[in-house]
Amino acid sequence: MKGEGIGFGKAILFNEHFVVYGIPAIVSAIGKYTIARVEPYNNSETKLDDNRDATPKYKEDKLKQQRDSLNRMLKAMDIEASKKGVKIELAGNLYAASGIGASAASCVAIARALSEYFNLNLSDDEINNIAYEGEKGYHGTPSGIDNTASTYGGLIWFEKGNPNTMERISLPNPIEIVIGNTGKVADTAVAVAGVRERKEKHHEKYHKIFERARNIAFLARRAFQDEDHEEIGKLMNENHKLLQQIEVSSRELDFLVNIAREYGALGAKLTGGGLGGNMIALTPEKELQEKVANAIEKEGFQTVKTVIGASRGGL
């Protein structure tokens, strides 16, 4: 008896951090994924073997959060860990790093694998809810955007609420992007708490920034529908500026963003929690994607070349 599940990585294209406060965000699954495999284990415990390639120290730094996340998911799925000896293995081609939905991809993959192993026949909506519970172990109060992209794939308009609003944005053609990894493991919970603290302290300043972020989301949605890559790029650049203003960028992120723009990316910004982790560059066409990726790699940083906007079946 075995179970297997898949969860996609993601890139937040607009409004990470702002999304926590009900500002719309746009997120896309990317063409990289985590696979979870579940098999019997001759012990009453749940054993987790994490065989993903990762940023140095990422897995060690996240170990406690990972255990908390798994326990939350087992509870949400009503699986008594003490009675069910299983071994879970994590693999796949999604590099485990901050900012590309590595934790969400693992939560979705594990939920799907456990569902198959225990014959629970859970729907995508149920998998998404369980993965959200798992994300709490990593992020404290996650927005739900990462697990949503990881579960459903494609390009998604997301608004946090009760319930969350999720709408697909259909793209005629997937768009090439480059993801640049600072190599710095970031703690999203710390970044989120910092924004909350500063927002309360500088209410008026932050209100203006957040309203501009809201406007950018609607402009970006229209630009995606029009396939206006130049406009999407400009708005990504402006979104990065807003993220700098709320102090979630870093020296390394800004460095990579500047290199990407210098070598022709239409837009570039941090992606995910910030303070390290990853940035993304909009590079329509393979040739531009190669050029930008090479420039980043020459500086000694790792890149991922992938696409946004492909539906689950197209990844």
Given this model, what pLDDT does residue 311 score?
61
**Do 148 and 184 share a domain, yes or no?**
no
**Do 207 and 137 share a domain, yes or no?**
no
At which of 168, 190, 205 does a domain end?
A: 168
Given this model, what pLDDT does residue 314 score?
42
DSSP string, 36-105: EEEEE-SSSSEEEEE---BSTTHHHHTHHHHHHHHHHHHHHTT--TTT--EEEEEEESS-B-TTTTHHHH
**Do 245 and 121 share a domain, yes or no?**
no
Tell how many helices (H) and how many strands (E) occur in the chain: 10, 10
Task: Determine the structural domain holding residue 309 and report its residue range.
Answer: 175-314
How far is 89 from 37, CA to CA, in rounded Å? 5
Given this model, what pLDDT does residue 256 score?
98
- Give first-to-last CA distance, the chain, whole Å: 28
**Do 304 and 276 share a domain, yes or no?**
yes
Non-local (6+) Cβ contacts of 275 within 8 A are: 184, 186, 187, 190, 191, 248, 249, 250
Given this model, what pLDDT does residue 82 score?
52
**Do 148 and 224 share a domain, yes or no?**
no
**Do 300 and 183 share a domain, yes or no?**
yes
- Beta-ladder partners of 175: 308
Given this model, what pLDDT does residue 145 score?
87
How far is 179 from 313, CA to CA, in rounded Å? 22
**Do 28 and 158 share a domain, yes or no?**
yes
At which of 168, 183, 205 does a domain end?
A: 168
CB distance 268 to 280 below 8 Å: yes
CATH number at residue 14: 3.30.230.10
**Do 161 and 181 share a domain, yes or no?**
no
**Do 101 and 185 share a domain, yes or no?**
no
CATH number at residue 197: 3.30.70.890
**Do 134 and 34 share a domain, yes or no?**
yes
Given this model, what pLDDT does residue 139 score?
83
Q: Which two tokens stand for residue 139?
A: 């992020």
**Do 15 and 159 share a domain, yes or no?**
yes
Q: Which two tokens stand for residue 156?
A: 């998604």
Given this model, what pLDDT does residue 97 score?
78
Per-residue tens of pLDDT for the chain, all 315 residues: 799 999 999 999 999 999 999 999 999 999 889 999 999 987 778 899 999 998 888 899 899 999 999 999 999 999 875 566 899 999 999 988 777 889 999 999 999 999 999 999 999 999 999 999 999 999 888 888 889 999 998 999 999 988 889 898 988 889 999 999 999 988 888 999 999 999 999 999 999 999 999 999 999 999 999 999 999 999 999 999 999 999 999 999 999 999 999 999 999 999 988 999 999 999 999 999 999 999 999 999 999 999 998 665 444
- Specify the number of domains making up the chain: 2
Given this model, what pLDDT does residue 219 score?
98
Given this model, what pLDDT does residue 310 score?
67
Strand positions, DSSP E, the chain: 3-14, 25-40, 46-50, 86-92, 155-159, 165-168, 175-181, 267-271, 278-282, 302-308
Q: Which two tokens stand for residue 270?
A: 């941090």
**Do 150 and 55 share a domain, yes or no?**
yes
Residue 228: strand, helix, or coil: coil
Q: Which phi and psi (to 5°) does residue 146 adopt?
A: -65, -50
At which of 168, 187, 219 does a domain end?
A: 168
Where in the sequence numbering do the catalytic residues fall? 146
